[in-house]
Copies of this chain bind each other. A is one copy, B any other.
Amino acid sequence: MKQNILITNDDGINAKGLRALIEVASEFGKVTIVAPEMGMSGMSHAITMTNPLFLRRIKIADSVEVYACQGTPVDCVKIAVDSIMEEAPTLILSGINHGSNSNVSVLYSGTMGAATEGATYNVPSIGFSLTSHLANADFTAARYYVKEILEKVLQHNCNKSLCLNVNIPSIPSEEIKGIKLCRQANGFWQEEFDKKLDPRGREYYWLVGKFINTEPEAADTDEWALRNGYVSIVPVQVDMTDYKTLKKAETWF
């Protein structure tokens, strides 16, 4: 079946990773691109509630429609599905992000915010990330794995609420050992705020964090897979209910 694909990202409309994703996705059907005007890294599942959303139509070709939106990645998905696309997308793709979105980073990631938003609409959605922040990162291996993963997902007539967090190690293609299905690694981001004074004496801080992996040896986690040369895939759900605690806390209230 020819797909009707919505593509977005969080690095903005001009990112190299977005172009790489468009190239691969175009082989699977019609693509519509609605991406943020500017970088929206770390915007998570944020939506724009107090400002208007400006939308700029950039180019219309036979099979590619491109829009830039002055909003977040989730805004892009919403405006695409509810206002721009004539027919509901059959697939929503986000990325390819410049930088990893493994472990709890899934919570902060604009790339994955867009993908989980897609899943709330009951459209299979995949976020792709390469573990390199460089603007000119090499997406050769990433393109190969995006294609392979899309083929396999479509082949299995996946569940409509399917949402995948795919991370691709930034190493030469021939060193990648394959694809590994994983769970999200436990841990947290520890910040070392860099405190400064502005010319008027006001204190300000830059947020500079590092991820503390609390289970570095767990071979079923995405962090382990990436460190060991695998492409990691974590299926993600939008139901955040903690069912274990739900059961345990039954007698508390």
Task: Report A's interface with B, CB cutoff 8 A.
Answer: 39, 41-50, 52-55, 74-75, 78-79, 82-83, 104, 106-108, 113, 116-117, 120-122, 149, 152-153, 155-156, 159, 162-163, 178-184, 186, 188-193, 195-196, 202-207, 209, 233-243, 245-246, 249-250, 252-253
Say yes or no: B252 contacts A156, CB within 8 Å: yes
Give the CA-CA distance A121 to B189 in the complex, in Å: 8
Say yes or no: B206 contacts A54, CB within 8 Å: no
Given A162-B245, A238-B107; A188-B46 close (CB under 8 Å): no
A53 neighbours in B (Cβ, 8 Å): 193, 204-207
What would be 19 A-B contacts, judged by CB atoms less than 8 Å apart? A41-B49, A41-B50, A44-B74, A45-B45, A46-B108, A47-B207, A52-B205, A79-B191, A79-B207, A82-B191, A83-B195, A120-B189, A122-B188, A181-B249, A233-B249, A233-B253, A234-B241, A237-B241, A237-B245
Give the CA-CA distance A253 to B235 in the complex, in Å: 13
Say yes or no: A183 contacts B239, CB within 8 Å: yes
Given A156-B252, A236-B241; A42-B52 close (CB under 8 Å): no
Complex: chain B residue closest to A234, CB-CB: B241
Copies in the complex: 2
A54 neighbours in B (Cβ, 8 Å): 202-204
Given A246-B181, A253-B149; A207-B241 close (CB under 8 Å): no
Give the CA-CA distance A78 to B74 in the complex, in Å: 23
Q: How far is the CB of A92 from chain B (nearest CB, A)?
A: 13
A162 neighbours in B (Cβ, 8 Å): 245
Contact partner of A235 (CB less than 8 A), chosen from B48, B182, B238, B249, is B249
Q: How far is the CB of A116 from chain B (nearest CB, A)?
A: 7
Taking A107-B120, A234-B241, A237-B242 as given, write out 17 further A-B residue pairs in contact, using a Cβ cutoff of 8 Å, ordered by the A residue number: A41-B50, A42-B49, A53-B207, A82-B190, A82-B193, A83-B193, A104-B120, A107-B117, A107-B238, A107-B240, A153-B252, A156-B252, A181-B246, A184-B239, A184-B241, A235-B246, A237-B241
Give the CA-CA distance A82 to B41 in the complex, in Å: 21
Complex: chain B residue closest to A83, CB-CB: B193
A107 neighbours in B (Cβ, 8 Å): 45, 116-117, 120, 238, 240
